Chains A and B, each alone.
Chain A
Amino acid sequence: MSRVLNSPVFADVPRPRFVPGPLGTHITIRGLKKYFAGWPLYENFDLDIPKSKIVSIFGPNGCGKSTLINMIAGLIPIDSGEILFDGKSLKETKIGYVFQNYREALFPWWRTIDNIAYPLKLMGKTKAEVDRRLEELVDSFEVRFDLNRYPYELSGGQQQTASIMRALAPQPEVLFLDEPFSALDYEMTLFIREKLQEVFMKTKTTMMLVSHDLEEAVYLADQVLLLTKRPTSIAEMLYYDDPRPRTVATLSEPSFVLAKRRSLEIFQREVRK
Chain B
Amino acid sequence: MADHSSQTNAWQRAAPREIKQSSMFSWSVLLPFTGPLFLVLVWDFAVRFGFIKAILLPLPVDTLATLVTGMAGGSLLFDFYVTLYRTLIAFGIAVLGGMPLGILLGSNEKAYRSVEFLIDFFRSTPASALIPLFLLIFGTSDINKIAIAAFGAWLLIVFNCAYGVINARKQRIAAAKVMGATRWQIFKDVLIWESLQASFVGLRSAVSMALVIVVVAEMFIGSESGLGHKIINAQQVMNTKMMYAAIMSAGILGYLLNILFLALERRIVHWSGR
Residues on A lying within 8 angstroms of B by beta carbon are 73-75, 94-97, 99, 101, 104-109, 118-119, 122-123, 144-145, 149-150, 152-155, 157-158, 166, 170, 176, 185, 187-188, 191
In the complex, the answer to whether A150 meets B180 with C-beta atoms within 8 Å is no
In the complex, the answer to whether A104 meets B14 with C-beta atoms within 8 Å is no
In the complex, the answer to whether A108 meets B179 with C-beta atoms within 8 Å is no
Q: Which residues of A contact B172 (CB under 8 A)?
A: 104-105, 107
In the complex, the answer to whether B180 meets A119 with C-beta atoms within 8 Å is yes
Chain B interface residue count: which class?
A: 20 to 34
In the complex, the answer to whether B10 meets A191 with C-beta atoms within 8 Å is yes
* Bound-state Cα–Cα, A115 to B29, Å: 40
Residue ID in chain A nearest B174 by CB atoms: A75
Task: Tell me if B48 is interfacial: C-beta within 8 Å of chain A.
Answer: no
Q: Which residues of A contact B180 (CB under 8 A)?
A: 94, 119, 122-123
Query: Are A105 and B17 CB-contacts (below 8 A) given A75-B177, A119-B179, A152-B271?
Result: no
In the complex, the answer to whether A107 meets B171 with C-beta atoms within 8 Å is no
Interface residue ranges of B8-40 to A (CB < 8 Å): 9-15, 17
Q: Which residues of B contact A99 (CB under 8 A)?
A: 171, 174-175
Q: How far is the CB of A28 from chain B (nearest CB, A)?
A: 20
Task: Tell me if B110 is interfacial: C-beta within 8 Å of chain A.
Answer: no
Q: Which residues of A contact B189 (CB under 8 A)?
A: 107, 118
Q: Which residues of A contact B178 (CB under 8 A)?
A: 73-75, 95-97, 176
Q: Which residues of B contact A105 (CB under 8 A)?
A: 171-172, 175
* Bound-state Cα–Cα, A119 to B11, Å: 25
Contact of A155 among B15, B175, B177 (CB under 8 A): B15
Q: Which residues of A contact B11 (CB under 8 A)?
A: 144-145, 157-158, 191
Task: Tell me if B113 is interfacial: C-beta within 8 Å of chain A.
Answer: no
A sample of 14 more A-B contacts (CB under 8 A), given A74-B177, A123-B180, A166-B179, is A73-B178, A106-B175, A107-B189, A108-B274, A109-B193, A109-B196, A118-B179, A122-B179, A149-B14, A150-B270, A152-B274, A153-B15, A158-B11, A158-B14
Query: Are A153 and B14 CB-contacts (below 8 A) given A107-B190, A108-B274, A118-B189?
Result: yes
Q: How far is the CB of B4 from chain A (nearest CB, A)?
A: 8
Residue ID in chain B nearest A95 by CB atoms: B178
* Bound-state Cα–Cα, A218 to B244, Å: 76
Query: Are A157 and B193 CB-contacts (below 8 A) given A74-B177, A104-B172?
Result: no
Contact of A104 among B13, B17, B169, B181 (CB under 8 A): B169
* Bound-state Cα–Cα, A95 to B11, Å: 27
* Bound-state Cα–Cα, A157 to B13, Å: 10
* Bound-state Cα–Cα, A96 to B180, Å: 10
Q: In the complex, which of the residues B9, B12, B169, B178 has the most CB atoms of chain A within 10 Å of its own CB atom?
A: B178
